[in-house]
Amino acid sequence: MNYKIALIRGDGIGPEVVSEAVGVLEAVGQRFGHCFTYEDVLLGGCATDAIGKSYPDGTAETCKSCDAVLLGAVGGPKWGSDKPAEQRPETALLAIRKDLGLYANLRPASLRPPLADACPLKKETAQKGIDLMMVRELTGGIYFGKRDKYQTEDRGVEATDLMAYSELEIERIGRRAFELARLRRKKVTSVDKANVLETSRLWRSVMHRLAEEYTDVEYEDVLVDNCAMQLVRDPAQFDVVVTENMFGDILSDEASMITGSIGLLPSASIGDAVPGLYEPIHGSAPDIAGQDKANPIATILSTAMMMRYSFHLPDEASAIEKAVDAVLAEGWRTADIAESGVTPIGTKEMGRLIRAKVLA
């Protein structure tokens, strides 16, 4: 099969990790007989440098003409908050997600067996294993609601952010969660704050309606504060965790921490009938950019998600995941995950070893 992939290499370590991920895609193509072609897309600080804005015209159209999008990372101190919005990389990220209609963010948090020692939780907790999928609503809620800041007569300046959700928004993300659970251990945990928020009560009622439809999937409601505690107390209880935008932002970072390094975790953002966008959860790491120190595994595992969720190629996805685990099991480490006494390898060498395992 032929697949066309838009490559947003981005800033900082983005180009380095994307190069290694492309190398792994080539190895997958060779082993399984697929042809991947690539279209480079300029976005982020590098686009600001080249043409004066971080989100060039036509970016969404180019991405839509591809079967999937792979993004390294964008941003850096050079294009900080003192710059006008159209020059800031974050503006481009929000715009591309919106223009592609990517309303579901999937972040697996799994403890790779060879790295169990990197888990900051108690040994007996880590031994039970961590393998959960955080499903975060990405285009609604308080991050996209109306905001205001105004002077009051007696309380100084006041600011408001509106949190709004519609049944449509809740139902489509809820369905994604139940469908994903069917491919996994068949359990959905829906996280809300229904004891306080009206949006959460609506969220819960829609999720209950869906739970009645997906009777083969176990379902539970958990309040967000309890979920934050349970993630560090007993993460093994979770399979698919679905929640609204802001709760998901916070909980998915917490879930990443319990699995070790930020350099290991992939993510996918998907919508309906549009190319999914696959990216590591980390940023552009300007402190190590251009030094062959970045861990490419998160980006490489993002291509595994691309195989599974955009191209429906589960064997290819697990070939990538097994190659990563095999390299880690042999003891190879980049600096961010190296135990003391272990000499780390560089970005390129980690990529080369994983490619070799895919082909083995």
**Which residues are catalytic, by number?**
143, 193, 225, 249, 253
- Counting contacts by CB under 6 A, is residue 285 touching ligand NAD? yes
Closest to ligand NAD by CB, 202 vs 320, is 320
253, burial (CB in 10 Å: exposed 0-12, middle 13-18, buried 19+): middle
Of 145-153, 167-175, 215-223, 283-291: span binding ligand NAD (CB under 6 A): 283-291
Which of the residues 146 through 185 are near ligand NAD (CB under 6 A)? Answer: none
Site for ligand NAD, residues 14 to 53, rule: CB under 6 A: none
Q: Give SS3 for 11.
A: coil
Show contacts with ligand NAD in window 208-237 (CB under 6 A).
Answer: none
Q: Which CB sits closer to ligand NAD, 46 or 73?
A: 73
Under the binding rule (CB under 6 A), the answer on residue 74 touching ligand NAD is yes
Q: Is residue 310 classed as helix, strand or coil in its secondary structure? A: helix
Tell how far CA 179 is from the center of its chain: 18
Q: Which of 189, 284, 302, 303 binds ligand NAD (CB under 6 A)?
A: 284
Where does residue 172 rank: exposed (0-12), middle (13-18), buried (19+ CB within 10 A)?
Answer: middle
Q: Count residues binding ligand NAD (CB under 6 A).
A: 21
What b-and-e string marks burial along 7-33, b requiring 16 or more CB atoms within 10 Å of the CB? bbbbbbbbbbbbbbbbbbbbbbbeeee
8 A C-beta contact, residue 230 and residue 222: yes
Which range, of 34-42, 68-76, 106-114, 178-186, touches ligand NAD by CB under 6 A? 68-76
Binding window for ligand NAD (CB under 6 A); candidates: 25-33, 229-237, 278-286, 300-308:
278-286
CA dihedral 246→250→252→254, nearest 10 degrees, is -170
Tokens (6 digits) for 94: 């929000």
Q: Which has the closest alpha carbon to 278: 89, 48, 96?
A: 96
Token code pair at residue 360: 């083995």
**φ, ψ for residue 159, nearest 5 deg:** -130, 145
Shortest-Cβ-distance residue relative to ligand NAD: 283
7 lines the binding site for ligand NAD (CB under 6 A): no
CB of 75 to ligand NAD, least distance (A): 3
In the bound state with ligand NAD, the residue whose beta carbon lies nearer, of 26 and 90, is 90
| 283 contributes a contact to ligand NAD by CB under 6 A | yes
Distances from the Cα of 313 to the Cαs of 24, 185, 273, 305, 321, in angstroms?
15, 19, 17, 9, 13
Contact status: 262 vs ligand NAD (CB under 6 A): yes
Told to check if 316 binds ligand NAD by CB under 6 A, we report: no
* Nearer Cβ to ligand NAD (219/309): 309
Show Cβ contacts of residue 77 under 8 Å, excluding neighbours closer than 6 positions. 286
Which one among 15, 23, 75, 114 touches ligand NAD, defined by CB under 6 A?
75
Minimal distance, residue 210 CB to ligand NAD, in Å: 29
Compute the least distance from the CB of residue 308 to ligand NAD, in Å.
20
Nearest to 93 by CA among 77, 79, 75: 75
- Give the nearer residue to ligand NAD in terms of CB position, either 140 or 260: 260
Among 287, 315, 330, 339, indicate the residue that binds ligand NAD (CB under 6 A).
Answer: 287
Q: How far is the CB of 287 from ligand NAD (least distance, A)?
A: 5
Closest separation in Å from C-beta 101 to ligand NAD: 18
Residue 203 Cα distances to 162, 190, 199, 208, 221, angstroms: 16, 9, 6, 9, 10
Binding mask 87-116 for ligand NAD (x = CB under 6 A): ---x--x-----------------------
The enclosing H or E element of 357 equals helix 347-359
Name the residues that contact ligand NAD, by CB under 6 A. 13, 73-76, 90, 93, 262-263, 279, 282-288, 294-295, 298, 336
